[in-house]
Amino acid sequence: MTKIYVGNLPFSATEEEIRTLFEHHGAVHSVSLVTDRYTGQPRGFGFVEMDETAAKAAISAVNGQEVGGRALKVDEAKPREDSRGGGGGRGDRGGRW
């Protein structure tokens, strides 16, 4: 299973529209459009899960395609970096007190 990042989506895009767009290249296992956790408004990107072979074909075909007047940015999803900080690894402070 491969997770695909789909960016630069029009805010009016629906999961069904994205599913239809990707189904031309193989079976779509899931579609999720990301919304702002506070306002519920679309953030203009989402993810599609497909089998590896279908995902590669879909990435090549759909990247740059226009939807709602916007050129989509489509690529294999990268693992999310932990953005919560944590403050570890202070390193050498240089010298003694």
Report the predicted TM-score, pTM, of the whole model to 2 decimal places: 0.80
pLDDT greater than 70 at residue 97: no
Burial 29-42 (b: 16+ CB within 10 A, else e): eebebeeeeeeeeb
pLDDT greater than 70 at residue 44: yes
In DSSP terms, 30 is beta-bridged to 49
Domain containing 67 — which CATH number?
A: 3.30.70.330
In a domain, 41, yes or no: yes
In a domain, 97, yes or no: no
Residue type, 52: E
In a domain, 44, yes or no: yes
In a domain, 63, yes or no: yes
Name the one residue in this structure whose structure tokens are 């403050």.
Answer: 87
Mean pLDDT of 26-42: 96
In a domain, 42, yes or no: yes
Domain containing 53 equals 2-76
Q: Provide the domain count of the chain.
A: 1
In a domain, 96, yes or no: no
